[in-house]
Structure 1
Amino acid sequence: MLQSKKKAQLEAGYGKPKSESFDFFRIEQFFANRPKESTDHLISEKTYQDLDFDEVFMFVDRTVSKVGQQYLYARLRTIDFLEAKNQSFERLIKSFQDDGELRQDAGIQLASLSHQNAYYIPSLFLKSHLQPPDWFWIVKVLPFISVFLLLLLPFYPPAFLWLFGILAINYTIHYWNKNNVYQYIASIPQLLRLKQVAKELRQHEALKPETDTVNQSIEILDEMGYSMSFFKLESKLQSEVGMIVEVLTELVKALFLIEPLLLFRVLHQIDAKRTQIDAVFQYVGRIDTALSIASLRKGVTHYCQPEITEKAKNLSATDLYHPLIPNPVANSITLVDKSVLLTGSNMSGKTTFIRTIGINCILAQTIHTCFAKEFRLPPMRVLSAIRIADDLLSEKSYYFEEVLTIKGMVDESQSEIQTLFLLDELFKGTNTVERIAAGKAVLTYLNKGPHLVFVSTHDIELTDYLKDTFDLYHFTEIVEEDRIAFDFKLREGNLKTRNAIRILELNAYPAEVIREANALSEKMSNAGG
């Protein structure tokens, strides 16, 4: 009855975002501590913040277990060009989309890893463990002395005094080790659960591991289960036993130094089996992530599976939208051998569109899901310079921070690996003439080779300098009598209308200000012409 109720809850939540709080410090532990060397591209902290990926993650995440949540987070921060084309992951997602009973059965198993303590599993195979001190050989000898004195006691009662002395020494070591045990009392029992969940999941034909490596890893963890079960028992004892039983239990454990001996034995085993634990962790996390994506697809307006092409400097999207905006306006775009220069006023949609492109390019290559009706792109890295702030502590100005960020992009553009560069209002921390000159030079440089650039600007002059290598698009506001409206529709070509002064007028600026602004604007336009 309890299981049927749980299944009903899981099915009721299918297709819906979570309502729980998100502990990003713990969620990111698998990503933060795993090796990065074999990865094609890591989403940098700068790009992650620019694209508001905490919020994107909270929307995308429909995982059941903490293991799946950590795996999904790492997947969204890691672009693997081969994995982006891997159809086996898509088949796994489709299995959950088509089979409600499979979703429920897998969800029930995964739910046993939903406790906060499951966040600590990655520390077992990604972080260094405690090492026994040099004098630990004494710990191995003392239990034998305890046994000898216990056996001697019926024949020689004064041996009790020796036993009491040994017990005092053992209690000192026992309680010295308590802090060591507490460091693992949360993680090791969850590792046992991880192993059990993996065993249950692989019973389903659709969820069987793709390689024998995972099966072998599960079996190896199963063999370690006996030693690790002590920590499961210890965790249970701390919460359920009475004082008398606890005292007696502690007496036995201290007399034979069970805890330090078992702890360092288990840590040695875990240390030797890091690769196997990692394989099982990723197996379970991958299944939960696939289930999460199936749920995500169920709950959105429309989505598509991206087409990963081999055509460099090509990108197309049909009815593309931002997943976090209620009732979003969808836009379409096709690029062939050119980048994009966006113009338009503030609040018209330029920056949101740039973020929409970046988010979907990342999701296309990580979870095979785009918020569009069609999306086509080549394998590419994603780098951004959208949200830049002064660094007051190191006395760096806005402009200097911007210079350093753009310099990083310039350096990365020398790579042959295709990169999507996302920029908002380039060099707005300096004067107009130098901003346009430096912006044109930098954008031309970034646009070389296979790279794509999406950049927004208020500097209309840039469009004349870049029109041969950049496709021009714009967003515009609609001014009608006494109101301003935005339709957030992407339009081809350069922005023709100029409504900034009219907007000042609609917001009740003094007539004198409006007259002078209009006169100066007309004079400057004539001079420029």
Structure 2
Amino acid sequence: MGLFRSSRRKIQEKTAASWGKIKEKRRNFDLISRYAATGTGSAFYRLTDQTLSDIDVEDLFACIDRTETGIGQQVLFHTLLHPTNDIEALKVTHQLSDYFLSNPQIRKNIQYHLYRLEQSGTYFIVDLFAPGREDKRKNPIYKTLALAAATLTVLSLFVHTLFSLLIILFFVNILVHFIHRNRSQNRIQTVSEAFSTITTAQKLVALDLPMENQAAIKTAIQKLSSINRLFRFLGAPTPSDDLSIIVLLIFELLKGFFLVEPLALNRCYKLALHNEAAFKTIYQFIGSIDLALSKASLRSDSAYKNCIPEFTIEEKTLRFSNAYHPLITDPVSNSFQVQQQHIFITGSNMSGKSTFLRTVLINSILAQTLYFCFAESFITSMYKQYSAIKIADNLFENESYFYKELEVIRAMVQQSEAPFNHLFLIDEIYKGTNTTERMALSLAVLQYLNRNKDLVIASSHDLELVTFLKGSYKMYHFSESIHNDQLVFDYHIKEGAVQSRNAIKLAAIEKYPPPVIQQAMEYTKLFVTKEH
């Protein structure tokens, strides 16, 4: 009992030390994404691969992930990929996180149980209710050999000549037993996780948390109780002393001779086939608790100023105060508001355009997934978010930067035909092609998107577009200044189009030869004259 209390105290000290802080740990996204890969989720929509790249989804996940279990990570990742327009659903997790913040003792107790659960692993239980799953390992030979073992054991008591045949069958079945165990490690692990998860769910449901589906949880646990009984026949227990080694060896030989483990494992999977809904209910119960705990820990992190978003029925609305990008060290925050207008942003490289677009994108997504924003305030319409910010070519698929950009923006144009509100964010539109066609295509696409209830925020180096877009797009810019031959950025968004051109000045600072700088200045005058 004293050892148990010491272990519990150490676990609670460890979870308490990590509360309200980023968890520095290795994350395997092949495992974390298993639930998201099942294809189940919000009926609203799923973020595109391009948008996931634009928000640096793995780095963002590492920033907000304060979960204790693999199930919690999977549910959090799945949630992040599926924004919703159901405000009441968003409030459910938020209210549970409020409950944990107000009841630290209950929270610590739950963290202890979840920490213990994760020691068994929880990444594979999702396989028990994944769509399209089927048991492909059923093998009638196990039943045949097990029946033969039982029959020969009884008959050899009366017919001693069968004893030699019994010995042969003993070694055959032992060999089959260990071959099966070696080939079925993943399945045994899955059932092991199921056993631990059901046990943990029993402990958590007894806490009578403020969750609406308590009755459904209890029913699901009851349906799966038979798996708990079968679990003891799976795997190889760890002996604790010399006597237990002997007992477990005898038990292992008996299991092997009668092929108890393959039969029990197949029975477990047969039960799983008939109780997918129950497994999913328990999985989501554990995941929603861990997600709410993670959010409560994130809200308690003093390193991140945060707020609860407000949703408005007003169309094309976005207003926020001191919003910032959470993945940047010492980020510069920006305040911004727009209603019934699109936005066109100009400015030089490194001035802050891309970071601003990502800040808007990340906070818009978090508002509709975690009901949480990195800002002092964030008021927004409900959107489906689509972005083209960090586009990259693909040499392995022979896909150029411009062709990839065409594909991504074409998807936005197609989505604009759909009835729901969209938030389209485009950085350096069509920078992958020549100047004349870039400007022509950019203007045509931005004017085409200037309709319906969508909100477009686009950026470009091309100041020439400002003249054509005035009236339909409101102009904003980021700027920089040069002091003592140093480039200085303030990273604050400002109204109006940018007025200065500093590229040649920067080249001079970087010690380009004077003839190059002089010639560039002459060409600039020529180009400006032709523009007018």
* Counterpart amino acid of residue 526 in structure 1: T
Q: Which position in structure 2 is the counterpart of 1:77?
A: 81
Q: Which position in structure 1 is the counterpart of 2:266?
A: 264
Deviates more, 1:474-483 or 1:244-253: 244-253
Deviates more, 1:86-95 or 1:244-253: 244-253
> Does residue 1:2 correspond to 2:7, yes or no?
yes
How far apart are 1:439 and its partner, in Å? 0.3
* Counterpart amino acid of residue 289 in structure 1: L
Q: Which position in structure 2 is the counterpart of 1:89?
A: 93
Q: Distance in 2 between matches of 1:240 and 1:349?
A: 64
> Does residue 1:322 correspond to 2:316, yes or no?
no
SS of equivalent to 1:354: helix
Q: Distance in 2 between matches of 1:245 and 1:199?
A: 30
SS of equivalent to 2:430: coil
How far apart are 1:220 and its partner, in Å? 1.6
> Does residue 1:399 correspond to 2:396, yes or no?
no
- The answer (yes or no) to whether the contact 1:28–1:70 under 8 Å persists in 2 is yes
Q: Which position in structure 2 is the counterpart of 1:473?
A: 476
How far apart are 1:527 and its partner, in Å? 3.2
SS of equivalent to 2:390: coil
- Structure 1 residues 116 and 514: CA distance shift in structure 2, 3 A: farther
Q: Which position in structure 1 is the counterpart of 2:290?
A: 288
- Structure 1 residues 130 and 238: CA distance shift in structure 2, 3 A: farther
Regions of 4+ moved over 4 Å: 237-247
Query: Of residues 28, 32, 40 in structure 2, which corresponds to 1:27?
Result: 32
SS of equivalent to 1:43: coil
Deviations 1:462-511 (A, max 9, x none): 12211212221111112124221111011011111221111122222222
- The answer (yes or no) to whether the contact 1:18–1:62 under 8 Å persists in 2 is yes
- Structure 1 residues 375 and 260: CA distance shift in structure 2, 3 A: same
Query: Of residues 132, 136, 144 in structure 2, which corresponds to 1:131?
Result: 136
> Does residue 1:18 correspond to 2:19, yes or no?
no
- Structure 1 residues 132 and 14: CA distance shift in structure 2, 3 A: closer
SS of equivalent to 1:471: strand
SS of equivalent to 1:363: helix
Deviations 1:296-345 (A, max 9, x none): 11113421100122222111111111111122111111111112111111
- The answer (yes or no) to whether the contact 1:113–1:193 under 8 Å persists in 2 is yes
* Counterpart amino acid of residue 74 in structure 1: H
- The answer (yes or no) to whether the contact 2:51–2:386 under 8 Å persists in 1 is yes
SS of equivalent to 1:376: strand
Deviates more, 1:484-493 or 1:258-267: 258-267
- Structure 1 residues 9 and 393: CA distance shift in structure 2, 3 A: closer
- Structure 1 residues 330 and 161: CA distance shift in structure 2, 3 A: same
Q: Distance in 2 between matches of 1:223 and 1:174?
A: 22
Residues 21-420 of structure 1: matches in 2 within 5 Å?
A: 21-36=26-41, 39-82=43-86, 86-115=90-119, 117-126=121-130, 128-133=133-138, 136=140, 139-171=142-174, 173-210=176-213, 212-231=215-234, 234-237=235-238, 248-299=250-301, 300-420=303-423
SS of equivalent to 2:187: coil
* Counterpart amino acid of residue 390 in structure 1: D
Deviations 1:263-312 (A, max 9, x none): 11111001111111111111111111111111111113421100122222
Deviates more, 1:362-371 or 1:505-514: 505-514
- The answer (yes or no) to whether the contact 2:90–2:368 under 8 Å persists in 1 is no
Specify every segment of 5 or more residues in structure 1 that has no aligned partner in the other structure, as ranges: none
Q: Distance in 2 between matches of 1:238 and 1:124?
A: 29
How far apart are 1:434 and its partner, in Å? 1.3
How far apart are 1:416 and its partner, in Å? 0.8
Q: TM-score, normalised by structure 1?
A: 0.93
Deviations 1:24-62 (A, max 9, x none): 1111111112435x5211112211112111111100001
- Structure 1 residues 132 and 4: CA distance shift in structure 2, 3 A: closer
- The answer (yes or no) to whether the contact 2:20–2:299 under 8 Å persists in 1 is yes
- Structure 1 residues 168 and 223: CA distance shift in structure 2, 3 A: closer
SS of equivalent to 1:22: coil
Number of equivalences: 524
- Structure 1 residues 286 and 85: CA distance shift in structure 2, 3 A: closer
Q: Which position in structure 1 is the counterpart of 2:511?
A: 508
How far apart are 1:256 and its partner, in Å? 1.7
- The answer (yes or no) to whether the contact 1:382–1:420 under 8 Å persists in 2 is yes
- The answer (yes or no) to whether the contact 1:84–1:364 under 8 Å persists in 2 is no
How far apart are 1:366 and its partner, in Å? 0.6
Q: Distance in 1 between matches of 2:346 and 2:175?
A: 73
- Structure 1 residues 303 and 132: CA distance shift in structure 2, 3 A: closer
Q: Distance in 2 between matches of 1:86 and 1:76?
A: 12
- The answer (yes or no) to whether the contact 2:205–2:214 under 8 Å persists in 1 is no
- The answer (yes or no) to whether the contact 2:11–2:115 under 8 Å persists in 1 is no
Q: Distance in 1 between matches of 2:199 and 2:150?
A: 36
How far apart are 1:372 and its partner, in Å? 0.8
SS of equivalent to 2:224: helix
- Structure 1 residues 362 and 177: CA distance shift in structure 2, 3 A: same
* Counterpart amino acid of residue 161 in structure 1: S
SS of equivalent to 1:206: coil
- The answer (yes or no) to whether the contact 1:209–1:283 under 8 Å persists in 2 is no
Q: Which position in structure 2 is the counterpart of 1:494?
A: 497
User: Aligned-pair RMSD on alpha carbons?
Assistant: 2.3
Q: Which position in structure 1 is the counterpart of 2:3?
A: none
* Counterpart amino acid of residue 366 in structure 1: T
- Structure 1 residues 197 and 322: CA distance shift in structure 2, 3 A: same
Deviations 1:143-175 (A, max 9, x none): 344334333334332231342344355345434
